[in-house]
Amino acid sequence: PREMFVEFGFMLKEGSDSKYNITTCNSNGDCGYVQIKELITPSIYESRLDTGKLEPDAGYKMVDTMLELMKNL
């Protein structure tokens, strides 16, 4: 469980065929964040808290997978 940046929710809504989309995530935990590539830098707060060291494309891969799964609904 990580907190995803809002940009990933925007990507899901943009790629979805549904006119109604609600995104939600866990927050206030200590697992860190799923960040957009542009903000993966040691000077950014969320990057300093990232203890799991996800690969830079992790959030984008999650969005792509979710969009594929949504096609089957």
Bridge partners of residue 2, in order along the sequence: none
Contact, 71 vs 16, CB < 8 A? no
Question: Which pLDDT does position 56 carry in this prediction?
Answer: 87
Residue 61 has pLDDT above 80, yes or no: yes
d(CA 1, CA 3): 7
d(CA 53, CA 70): 27
Q: Is the model more confident about 66 or about 44?
A: 66
What pLDDT, in 10s, does the model give residues 13-39?
999 999 898 888 777 766 778 888 888
Q: What is the pTM of this model?
A: 0.81
Bridge partners of residue 4, in order along the sequence: 34
